[in-house]
Structure 1
Amino acid sequence: MSETRDASTTQVYRVYIKATPEQVWDAITKPEWTDRFGYGGKTDYDLRAGAAYQTRPSEAMIKAGAEMGHPVPDTIVDGEVVEADPPHRLVLTWRMLMDLTGALAAEGFTRLTYEIESAAGATKLTVVHELPGAPLLSALVSGDNEASGAGGGWPWILSDLKSLLETGKTLAQ
């Protein structure tokens, strides 16, 4: 499912999902969907170029953080819409704000691109995350820190999205 080119600067992930491009687009861009897969969180987009967006933590994320003694900020990811071409392409700047030390946020904004294409009765979703100068975030989103409890990054998120759209259930259900 994944293809990685120099993971320190650019990561590319591709998955085929038995769903329409519109369904995949909606899952990526509508807060009632973004909170249902991956690590959760409601993402509010204004899909105009230059518009800011933010992801707020889910209730489950806030509860888990409290149980572990880690406060969860009101905004966990933020950025700006660079380009939106529904249901084909979404390009964003992307910054992770959810870490105890602030080191991830200090790495600044990266560039995230979703490419959505019809493909033989399915939809091909390609995620390109450009991460120059962001080695901590690069390790996190690649899933390299999974063993330490940081999650499986984009491979896990995309697998969870695929499961949700194809079966109506996430991997954890």
Structure 2
Amino acid sequence: MTTTTTQVHRIWIKATPERIWAAIADPEWNGRYGYSAVATYELEAGGRFRQYANDGMKAYATQHGFEMPEVIADGEVIEADPPRLLKQTWKLQMDPGTAAEAYSTLTYEITESKSQPGTCKLTVIHELPESPATFAMVAGSDEEGAGGGWAWVLSDLKSLVETGRGFNE
């Protein structure tokens, strides 16, 4: 029997569904927030998802004596309904512990607010079957220097979409 642990993250963004969708799926946008790793999608069932190491990641790996793969995360699109829904498989390939685990399922749902015109709810559902290392990474950590997981990524996405500037810009 497989154990699945699910993380659900919700944020509200003052933007159109189309603008939020672009921040997620368009490489001109998605490399500007979170960990600044550009992602590409083939937005059809069975299409490829790839996320690429940036120069800072490669330099960090070299400095610390390990090799950073070019593709740091990958998966397959299960369903794409722009600008409302993106469901895909997802695996973090940059860490040997997470690369050894099963692919997880990642769903982005964008819903317009009925009570707050011009605002959308972005819900990210991450289903992690038998993936304790990935679960810990995407959950984030308060430790200095550790990654902030989905909370960090989504907070930065919100900042970028609402202000035009991500945390590192």
For residue 148 of structure 1, report the CA deviation from its aligned partner: 6.0
Q: Kindly, what percent of the aligned residue pairs are identical?
A: 49
Aligned residues: 163
**Partner of residue 165, structure 1:** 161
Structure 2 residue aligned with 1:79, among 68, 75, 78?
A: 75
2:134 is matched with which residue: 126, 137, 140? 137
CA RMSD of aligned residues (A): 1.5
The one of 95, 100, 109 equivalent to 1:106 is 100
8 Å CA contact retained: 1:116, 1:124 = yes
Deviates more, 1:66-75 or 1:113-122: 66-75
Aligned-partner Cα distance in 2 for 1:83–1:21:
17
Question: If the length of structure 1 is used for normalisation, what is the TM-score?
Answer: 0.88
C-alpha contact (below 8 Å) 1:52/1:80 kept by paired residues? yes
- Cα distance, 1:17 vs. partner? 0.8
The residue aligned with 1:43 is 39
Q: 1:90 and 1:41 mapped to 2: Cα distance?
A: 18
Deviations 1:82-123 (A, max 9, x none): 000000000000000011xx1101112000000001112211
Structure 2 CA distance for aligned equivalents of residues 56 and 87 of structure 1: 23
Alpha-carbon contact 1:40-1:61 (below 8 Å) kept: no
2:153 matches 1:154: no
Question: Once structures 1 and 2 are overlaid, which stretch shifts more, 20-29 or 61-70?
Answer: 61-70
Deviation at 1:60, TM superposition (A): 2.6
- The answer to whether structure 1 residue 115 and structure 2 residue 112 are counterparts is no
